[in-house]
Amino acid sequence: MTVSDPRKTTSMTPGSSFSLIVLGPGWPEKNQRMRKQSGFSLLGLLIVVAIILIIVPIAIPNLLRARIAANGVSAVGSLLAFNIAQISYNSFYSTLGFATTLSALGGASCAPPGTNNSCMIDTQLASGTKSGYSFTLWDTSGTPNATYQIRADPLSPNQTGVRYFWTFADAIIRYGSALLTTASPA
């Protein structure tokens, strides 16, 4: 079978799966018109930008509040880790009691662990800063050291956290909305 076209001649044998697309007169002009019609209109893009500008001021404060809440949860988890580490330290080094520094609970070289680097918490936490909170170990005294207090304060109040947390040797985590200066486990 032979298909005739003034621009192209192709022969096909019966049973072949060859197909021929014949482009009629004026096909380049139709193709150009189709290109002009594709894409987004300026009005459509302006509507999308307007919707985004409406949603962004609503979403950003919610994201900031979620980050503040996540930082608070991380601070509570860190205080739990400190309590567990202090109880373990007191158990392993009973002649010393509780650790007197955060770095004594951490350590980078743990072969073998010792009283100054017991490797019970990670080095980030032992540095005293994690997830928008700073941690302070204080009120440690005596031999063996029978008490401790750990405070977790937001690095930037109302930006990285809104609550202040603290714990004592009783391992109960407390919180408040103001900076803790002195406290006792009551």
**SS3 of residue 175 by DSSP:** strand
Is pLDDT of 23 > 80? no
Q: What is the pLDDT of residue 110?
A: 81
The model's confidence at residue 180, banded by pLDDT at 50, 70 and 90, is confident
* Residue 145, φ and ψ in degrees, nearest 5: -70, 115
pTM: 0.70
**In sequence order, which residues have a C-beta less than 8 Å from that of residue 136 and are 6 or more positions away?**
128, 150, 151, 153
DSSP 92-151: HTTTTBS-SSHHHH--S--SS--SS---SS-HHHHTTEETTEEEEEE---TTTB---EEE
Task: Please report which helix (H) or strand (E) contains residue 158, including its range.
Answer: none
State mean pLDDT over 27-34. 56
3-state helix, strand, coil in the chain (%, to 5): 40, 20, 45
Q: Which two tokens stand for residue 102?
A: 């955060």
Q: What is the pLDDT of residue 37?
A: 60
CA of 1: how far to CAs of 13, 22, 23, in Å? 6, 15, 19
**Lowest mean pLDDT segment, chosen from 11-25, 50-64, 162-176:** 11-25
